[in-house]
Amino acid sequence: MAGQPVCAAARELSAPTPDLMRSIHLTMVRIRRFEERAVELFMAQELPGFLHSCLGQEAVPAGACAALRDTDYITSTHRGHGHVIAKGLRLDRMMAELYGRTTGYCKGKGGSMHIADFSKGILGANGIVGGGIPIAAGAALSAKMRQSGQVSVAFFGDGAASQGSFHESVNMAAVWALPAIFVCENNQYAVSTHGSRQRVIPDVAARAAGYGIPGVTVDGNDPLAVYAAMVEAVERARGGHGPSFVECRTYKWLGHYVGDPGKYRPAEEVAQWKAADPLPRYERELAARGVLSPEESELVHAQVAREIEEAVEFARLSPHPKPEDALEDVVA
Amino acid sequence: MSNIFYKEAVRDALREEMRRDERVFLLGLDIGRFGGTYKATDGLVDEFGEERVRDTPLSEAAIAGAAVGSAMTGLRPVAEIMYIDFTTIAMDQIVNQAAKLRYMSGGQAHIPVVFRTQEGAGRSSAAQHAQSLEAWFAHIPGLKVALPSTPFDAKGLLKTAVRDDGPVMFIEHKLLYNSRGEVPEQEYLIPFGQANICREGSDVTVVALSRMVLRALEAAAELEREGISVEVIDPRTVAPLDIETIVKSVEKTGRLVVAHEAYERCGMGAEIATQVMERGLYFLEKPVRRVCGRNVPVPFAPVMENYVIPGAAEIVKAVKELL
Amino acid sequence: MSEPVNVLLPMLGLTMSEGAVSRWLRDEGDRVRKGDPLFEVETDKAVLDVEAPADGVLLRRLVFENQTVPVGTVVAVIGEPGSVIAAAPAAPPPPAKKTVSPRARKLAGEHGLDWQTLEGSGANGLITEDDVKRSLASSAPAPEAPGMLSAHRQVLADRLSRSVRERPHIYLTLTVDMAAAAAFRAAHPEVSYNDLFLKAAATCLAEFPVVNASLEDGRLTRHPAAHIGFAVASGEDNLFVPVIRDAGAKTLAQIAEARRALGEKAKAKRLTSDEMSGGTFTISNLGMYGVEQFTAIINPPESAILALGAVRDEVRAIDGVPAVRPVMSVTLAADHRVVDGALAARFLARFKALMENPEALP
């Protein structure tokens, strides 16, 4: 049960339609371009605070959220732009939040690490490693008690899987058979700590067995593999069969935060993963399957480039909060 | 009116609120069949079932987090943390998540969660089971903190806590569960931020928290026999804090004692004294006196525990020193 | 260099024989430089700073505030720490700084009571609310300290007593019709009644020079110019008399300007010694308080003082017909050794004539 790779057949069983596949592609392009632009703006010192880029990891959120409904819940991490874009957030209001403007999703109060939109089931990116996992379990509990049919997804990294909150939440979700899906983006590093120093087991999904729940390890850079695993997990959850664990092996191109040179990673390793860029790889597959031609792909890129520029323009022109706005929204 | 136990007042509040609103549910260790460590939830599982009175695995972080997550998504959980000392394990979910998600999301999140717990010393529970930590939570913007000292206050405040749309730290006292008091039959709520003047007086003001309110009243009775008139005030909630009532009393008496079991250093006494100084320095005849737990972990042996945790005698002494 | 230097209570004014440090400006142990203000002395005229005569550490403060001592008393010693102080202290060492509870201080302030004057019954001499209440309840007027006037009051008291003792006063009163003066004022709004009084008085003094003379120790000195003092109240307790020099040579406008400037300085207690000395005549006006008529005490070494009352409406006979006129009572007090009755009467009549025809003022 531990860490089974998803085979090609399983991928097909999830039967993604061409529309869905193109939608996944669009999401990946949006995440890619948004992250690239955000990095540029950050390095140009237009964005305050920190930026944790998910460049290189786009396939995971794109594939995972494609299996979810609008009303399903997700919690995300400090590296959460991909998750929230994939769950349906607008690029302009996201950019405005990064700029700290009142038009941002959190009115400038949260910033990159805390983007939230409750109308889309996004219960917040979280600045505490592992902080969102218990909350996702709570949302799953709520869904179950209300019998709403919703599922709740906790995105987290391989480092978070060492947190007590992970253990407690997965266990509780298992005991109560909650409609939760625990999605671990294993990009093999927690800041500078390599996975081999984070755990003894090679795959995080091996822990699932310890809680009595199914766990799979998939190629996180293959969006359709991620999608397939999620579809199965969502079915289990919605069917009342309890939580699942989906580990997605992937890699982030930049360091922990933008500006971190990431010297703790061997240069060849980084180069290798960059060469295996999930986006062109997916585009090649879509072209081969006749779902999206290179020309059509170009158009998508161009469209997204325009969206990004509009988003930046929108953000730059948006008003700054008044200083006294800091005093609002503390209590209900 | 009925004369009931404090633990019954807690239970009745929960029962009434669960009947009133089906979104209210309880989770915590041993609160179901077992009825809770201090029997505050005794019998509730029989009426509401195991879905709404949930025994949890031994996981304070997950208990708190599940409460936060379910509160954010339409329910109104009351999570029990068995001892306030164990909130340490749940701190991230209480302090970084529950208290802040509304703010950080720009007002989107509603987190109507109550964290019920209990504190206090007096039965040799030793250092990790006898602390009073209300000051930690009062320190955090976004959290409300209530400490009832009587069954009447417990019921009224807990109902308010459940109906509050934000996170509330509801702190009971382990040695008050079996104290008795009068509670009305008909429904009532006690608002937060409203102190109770338990006893009127004119010579000295004593502000006390939780079980120290009872000690203060004992001290006041003793002092009255010596012709000293003591006004006893129970703030009932330390966040929000009804400083107005306290300052008004100090304006009358000119002398203030603050009494709490919590460690003296950086306890609520420090905050109350400072706020009184800020608003009413020129009402003070003498410096503010604090009668608090000594700055040491609570020891096990009764003779040492009694030395470390103040009682009525310490309040009497402090009052006399101010005259 | 290490010889300690005695600081004496200086004589500030020829008539000063005793005085007090009204406020210490530096504490024992402070390092001071020559010229640093060391303490304040209140005279009947002003509050003056006394400077440190040398560099060094203020080793001892030998008198406490408001303790009257003869001029020339050693009140402080400046030197280097460890040096031996040769002069024996002339008074007991200063008591510890008084403390007061916030509540007591507030109560005292509300009742205009200076808590510094109280003795404290609390720990370490803390002045308590009860101390203040007791002090207020005992209806004795707030004393500075039992039996002690402030330095300022003391000096004033002595002078007034001496004046009455030494100078046989005669008092003459008449009523001035102020209609013309009122009209003049309406036409010249920059000029006040006081300015008119000053100018009129100066004119009279020029015409009756003996009123402008002073008799001291048997010698009569006639002063060529009229330097007129006018009394100004400052705060609750202080009376200052700034002097308009050579009022006779000044125009009305110049008098107005000088009076305004000096009046402000007086209220702020910032008059200099020069501005308060050398007067030859004084005018005192209690009209603003509604007083109709009063007699004043001559300011030594002057020989006369004019006391003015309020301008009030009265029914008078004008050409045999009753009419309502604005009038003012004027009372001249003169030193009968210098000024005899007839002369005083003529002086006063001339004052009245000038006030009833202000256009004629030179």
Complex ipTM? 0.85
Q: What is the 3-state secondary structure (H, E, C) of chain C?
A: CCCCEEEECCCCCCCCCEEEEEEECCCCCCEECCCCEEEEEECCCCEEEEECCCCEEEEEECCCCCCEEECCCEEEEEECCCCCCCCCCCCCCCCCCCCECHHHHHHHHHCCCCHHHCCCCCHHHCECHHHHHHHHHCCCCCCCECCECCHHHHHHHHHHHHHHHHCCEEEEEEEEECHHHHHHHHHCCCCCHHHHHHHHHHHHHHHCHHHHEEEECCEEEECCCCCEEECEEECCCEEECCEECCHHHCCHHHHHHHHHHHHHHHHCCCCCCHHHCCCCEEEEECHHHCCCCCCCCCCCCCCEEEEECCCEEEEEEECCEEEEEEEEEEEEEEECCCCCHHHHHHHHHHHHHHHCCHHHCC
Contact C129 B285 (CB under 8 A): yes
Give the tens place of pLDDT for each residue, C180-229. 999 999 998 888 888 999 999 999 999 999 999 998 888 889 999 999 99
Residue C91 has pLDDT above 90, yes or no: no
Consecutive H or E run containing A189: strand A189-190
Q: pLDDT band for position C264 (50/70/90)?
A: confident
- Examine the pLDDT at A10 and tell me if it is beyond 90: no
Q: What is the pLDDT of residues A122-156, one digit of tens each?
A: 999 999 999 999 999 999 999 999 999 999 999 99
Highest mean pLDDT among B186-200, C159-173, C179-193: B186-200
**In chain C, % of residues over pLDDT 70:** 90
More confidently predicted of C216 and B130: B130
Among C232-236, C282-286, C328-332, name the one with the lowest average pLDDT: C232-236
Of A73, A138, A175, the CB nearest to B65: A138
> Residue A98 half-sphere exposure, CB side, CA atoms within 13 Å?
31
B69 closest CB neighbour out of A117, A134, A146: A134
Mean pLDDT of C91-100: 70
Chain A meets chain C (3+ C-beta pairs below 8 A): no
Asked whether B70 and A138 are in contact (CB, 8 A), the reply is yes
Binary contact (B284, C106; C-beta < 8 A)? no
* pLDDT score of C1 more than 60: no
Question: What's the pLDDT at C189?
Answer: 87
With a cut of 50, say whether residue B235 has pLDDT above it: yes
Specify the DSSP class assigned to residue A17.
-
Which stretch of A234-248, A289-303, B235-249, C252-266 has the lowest confidence by average pLDDT? C252-266
Q: What pTM was computed for the model?
A: 0.67
Q: Which residues 164-183 of A are in CB contact (within 8 Å) with B?
A: 164-165, 167-169, 171-172, 175-176
Q: Are A171 and B104 a contacting pair at CB < 8 A?
A: no
**pLDDT value at position A2?**
41
Choose among B61, B67, B107: nearest Cβ to A329. Answer: B107
Nearest CB to A110; choose among B62, B66, B105: B105
**A77/C117: higher pLDDT:** A77
What is the CA A159 to chain-centroid distance, rounded?
Answer: 15
The token pair at B253 is 């008496």
Chain B positions touching C102 (Cβ under 8 A) are 281-285
CA distance C103 to chain B (A): 5
User: For chain B, which chains pass the contact test of at least 3 CB pairs under 8 Å?
Assistant: A, C
Mean pLDDT of chain A: 94
Percent of chain B residues topping a pLDDT of 90: 98
Give yes or no for B282 touching C (CB within 8 A): yes
The two structure tokens encoding residue C346: 């003529």
β-pairing verdict for A244-249 and A180-186: parallel
Adjacent-strand bridge partners of C31:
C57
The per-residue pLDDT for range A182-211, each reduced to its tens digit, is 999 999 999 888 999 999 999 999 999 999
The mean pLDDT of B225-248, rounded to a whole number, is 98
Residues of B in contact with C129 (CB under 8 A): 254, 285
Do B70 and A145 lie within an 8 Å CB cutoff? yes
| Physical contact, A and B (3 or more Cβ pairs within 8 A) | yes
Min mean pLDDT across B23-27, B44-48, C268-272 is at: C268-272
Stretch B276-298: mean pLDDT, rounded?
A: 95
B254 in C contact zone (CB under 8 Å): yes
Res C144 pLDDT > 70: no
Nearest CA in chain B to A178: B66
Q: Whole-number mean pLDDT of chain B? A: 97
pLDDT score, position C87: 53
The pLDDT of residue A204: 97
- List the single residue in A110, A145, A164 with the smallest CB-CB distance to B51: A145
The residue in chain C having the minimum alpha-carbon distance to the alpha carbon of residue B321 is C123
pLDDT digits (tens, 9 = 90+) for B70-126: 999 999 999 999 999 999 999 999 999 999 999 999 999 999 999 999 999 998 999
Whether C340 sits among the annotated catalytic residues: the reply is yes
Which tokens hold the place of A215? 């766990």
Q: Which ranges constitute the DSSP H helices of B128-230?
A: 134-138, 151-163, 212-225
For residue C304, the cross-strand partners are C334
Give residue A233's pLDDT. Answer: 97
Q: Distance between CA atoms of B110 and A154, rounded to whole angstroms?
A: 19
Mean pLDDT of C291-295: 92
Interface of A with B in 311-330 (CB under 8 A): 328-330
**B88: its two tokens:** 């340490």
Where does the pLDDT of residue A166 fall: very low under 50, low under 70, confident under 90, or very high at 90 and above? very high
CA distance C187 to C21: 49
Confidence category of residue A3, pLDDT binned at 50, 70, 90: very low
How many other β-carbons are positioned within 10 Å of the β-carbon of residue C166?
Answer: 14
Please identify every residue of B annotated as catalytic: 129
Spatial separation of the C-alpha atoms in residues B9 and B153, rounded to whole Å: 9
**Nearest residue of chain B to residue C101 (CA atoms):** B285
Chain B residues whose CB is inside 8 A of the A145 CB are: 25, 51-52, 70, 75
Mean pLDDT of C122-126: 85
Question: Which of the residue ranges A9-13, B192-196, B216-220, B237-241 would you say has the lowest mean pLDDT?
Answer: A9-13
Q: Which tokens sit at A5? A: 């790779």
Q: Which two tokens stand for residue C149?
A: 């006037």
Contact indicator for A65, A27 with CB cutoff of 8 Å: yes
- Distance from the C96 Cα atom to the nearest Cα atom in chain B, whole angstroms: 20
Under an 8 Å CB criterion, which residues of C touch B? 101-106, 128-129
Restricting to A residues 82-121, those with a Cβ less than 8 Å away from any Cβ of B are 104-110, 114, 116-118
Q: Which of C103, C130, C133 to mutate to test the interface with B (most CBs of B within 10 A)?
A: C103
Q: Do C102 and B283 touch (CB under 8 A)?
A: yes
Segment A239-268, tens digit of pLDDT: 999 999 999 999 999 999 898 888 889 999
Closest chain B CA to residue A126: B97
Give the pLDDT score at A130: 93
In the predicted model, what is the mean pLDDT of residues C156-181? 90
